[in-house]
Amino acid sequence: MSFPFELPILDKVSGPEDLRKLSDADLDQVAKELRNEVIEVVSQTGGHLGSSLGVVELTVALHAIFKTPLDKLIWDVGHQCYPHKIITGRRKRMMGLRQKDGVSGFTKRSESEYDPFGAAHSSTSISAALGFTMGRELGQTVGDCIAVIGDGSISAGMAYEAMNNAGAENKRLFVILNDNEMSIAPPVGAMSSYLSGLYGNSAFHKLKTLAEEVEVHLPWAMRDGARRARQIVTGMHGQATLFEELGFDYLGPIDGHNMPQLLSVLRAAKARATGPVLIHVCTKKGCGYAPAENSSDKYHGVSKFDIATGLQSKTPANAPSYTSIFGQALTIEAEADPRIVAVTAAMPSGTGVNAMAKVFPKRVFDVGIAEQHGVTFAAGMAASGLKPFCAIYSTFLQRGYDQIVHDVALQNLPVRFAIDRAGLVGADGATHAGAFDVAYLSNLPNFVVMAAADEAELMHMVRTAAEYDAGPISFRYPRGNGLGVELPKRGEVLEIGKGRIIQDGSDIAILSFGAHLSVVQEAAVALKNKGISVTIADARFAKPLDTDLIDELVNNHSAILTVEQGSVGGFSSLVLHYLMQSGQLRHGINIDSMVLPDRFIDQASPAEMYSDAGMSEGHVIDRCTKLLHKGSSIPSNHLDAVNLQSS
């Protein structure tokens, strides 16, 4: 591979219609050039490299054979869509990939007509494709529908619910199983073994196909005997693939990097399909770029890197990440209590439980992309007497909400929820934002809900959760590095429902919940320079609330500001509800709340996203100043003085 890249054919491709004019040999060359373009782009922007390199040939072949955008091409998760974006009119914008006002790192309906269905969570593609298919059947302007789903994503129950439905409907639909045997973490479970067996049996598949073709041409009287003989020889009696049992015609496995084979199979499938078809395509993550191929994670998510060496340019961290601190704290607690176990949904390194797995491998369970199962699995372990920590990102925990309600909260089982990626997360954008967990957990009976203000607090909350056995408990913490605070050797057990005063002041009180405390502290310094004295309190708990702390702040300050990195309906709503129930609002309270606005925040750096949300240091200063100004001009004993503002 030489640098810089020359792309003579790709330079002539402005859209998929140009691919359909090319010869098969030129399509093969386009794929080579497209792979180089993806490498060049991601080397400058960072992003999901390995998954995108794995589907280059498949992307070209699909757009060349099917007539997108009339035909609906739906990428599961969407993190492998960079080649797709380049050849669907977004090539010139790719240097803004995952940046503010730039191209999304996932498929996005508002971005292009070639993205018919947005995604960033897994296992939704077949359901969506079936929905488009039924739209076509009922007269909508929809052509063929193609779902591309990975071997990791197909482990989730939703994929099988969709396939079962599609098989029953028996309408023309294409599912491409992109089997790279390497999801973010190595695929786990029986399905991975099953797919590996299919792949390893490709010679057998050819034998089966040949026998079937011969059988078709026999006279009617001889066919039944020949079929029985074939089943005896091949062992296929009652041994259809799982996909065939669900009602799909199964084709494969085929080599996903062999352009002639891909084109041939896709053309045949398009020409002959009458019902649902599953095409099993085997690919390699990172294919065509040695550093990615040789990396343990196949360069799933990378920062900017040097193309020649593959070395990533990462800024040295001033403090360890919250994720690593959680992993270390959990391991410490696991050493002290053999009943502690950990559950993750295909994210052992992403959630930090891999640290515990190195020491206690039999007590860490990766359930695959199956958050619903993971939550109930943890509930069962809690019911057995174990102490499960269910470590799932905030945005993915949403997928298991019914199980949280029905299987955990209703039965008051002591499952510990470690919620990583809380708040706004940066380049992954709105799809991965941890905006809603405080609201969707705090409204459940029996739950304790905590948020860590810094990495030392995270250690305290891990210890608190480990010791708490009266019901479900959760703690949230952000993506990225900590603040560099001094860490204890082991966390302390916090008193349930009790916050803390960080600094005392006399004019305004800021009641912070979670990791925005550092922004509040910076704002307090600026306010002090303006002559405004600020009390800062860290609530620690959204449920149960520290009502004594709230009462103290209300009684001793002319204004109160609550701050949280979550949506409306969370911590601030609970505070206001308490003040209403306790009758204090009738006496006039000058109070405001800073929460995420009632809209999704587009990708940018976390600082830019919080600024967009109206939650920067400057916004905190402005809110405090306005609160004090309003409070000084309105009698505190008048009902009209109640100043309930929300973001």
Q: Is 153 annotated as a binding residue?
A: yes
CA distance 304 to 310: 9
Pairing of strands 448-451, 364-366: unpaired
CA distance 594 to 101: 24
Instruction: State yes or no: cis peptide before 544, omega within 30 of 0.
Output: yes
Residue length of the chain = 647
Q: Which token pair is 178?
A: 């992109």
Q: Phi first, then psi: what are they for 206, rounded to 5°?
A: -65, -40
CA distance 557 to 599: 32
Cβ pair 422, 397 in contact under 8 A: no
Catalytic position from the list 32, 285, 421, 623:
285
Identify residue 568 by its one-letter amino acid code.
V
SS3 136: helix
Q: Given the structure tokens 């786990």, which residue do they identify?
A: 188
Cβ pair 622, 527 in contact under 8 A: no
Nearest alpha-carbon partner for 431 in 176, 185, 115, 194: 115
Identify residue 564 by its one-letter amino acid code.
E
Distance of CA 190 to the CA centre of its chain: 23
Annotated active-site residue 495? The verdict is no
Q: Is 120 annotated as a binding residue?
A: yes
CB neighbour list of residue 166: distance below 8 Å, 6 or more residues apart? 126, 130, 133, 173, 175, 246, 247, 248, 276
Q: Which token pair is 409?
A: 């909260």
Where are the strands (E) in 27-100, listed by range? Answer: 72-75
CB neighbour list of residue 331: distance below 8 Å, 6 or more residues apart? 355, 356, 359, 360
What is the CA angle 497-596-508, rounded to 5?
A: 60
CB neighbour list of residue 101: distance below 8 Å, 6 or more residues apart? 602, 604
Cβ pair 326, 487 in contact under 8 A: no
Q: Is 324 annotated as a binding residue?
A: no
Pairing of strands 500-503, 534-538: antiparallel
Annotated active-site residue 137? The verdict is no
Q: Which helix (H) or strand (E) holds 278?
A: strand 276-282
Kindly tell me the burial class for residue 501, based on how many C-beta atoms sit within 10 Å of its own C-beta (0-12, 13-18, 19 or more): middle
Identify residue 532 by its one-letter amino acid code.
I
CB neighbour list of residue 45: distance below 8 Å, 6 or more residues apart? 94, 95, 96, 97, 98, 99, 304
Q: Is 394 annotated as a binding residue?
A: no
SS3 249: strand
Distance (Å) of CA 65 to CA 12, 24, 608: 18, 11, 41
Catalytic position from the list 33, 37, 57, 371:
371
Cβ pair 391, 420 in contact under 8 A: yes
Q: Is 244 annotated as a binding residue?
A: no
Q: Is 17 annotated as a binding residue?
A: no
Q: Is 151 annotated as a binding residue?
A: yes
Q: Is 460 annotated as a binding residue?
A: no
Identify residue 202 by its one-letter amino acid code.
S
Catalytic position from the list 90, 399, 540, 543:
399
Annotated active-site residue 90? The verdict is no
Q: Is 122 annotated as a binding residue?
A: yes
Q: Which token pair is 54?
A: 């794995």
CA distance 369 to 153: 6
Angle between helices 322-336 and 455-467 (to 10 degrees): 30
Residue 136 has a CB neighbour count (10 Å cut-off) of 17
Q: Is 79 annotated as a binding residue?
A: yes
CA distance 484 to 322: 10
Q: Which token pair is 299?
A: 């360069």
What residues act catalytically? 285, 371, 399
**Numbered residues of the known binding site for Mg(2+):** 151, 180
**Numbered residues of the known binding site for thiamine diphosphate:** 79, 120-122, 152-153, 180, 289, 371
**Numbered residues of the known binding site:** 79, 120-122, 151-153, 180, 289, 371
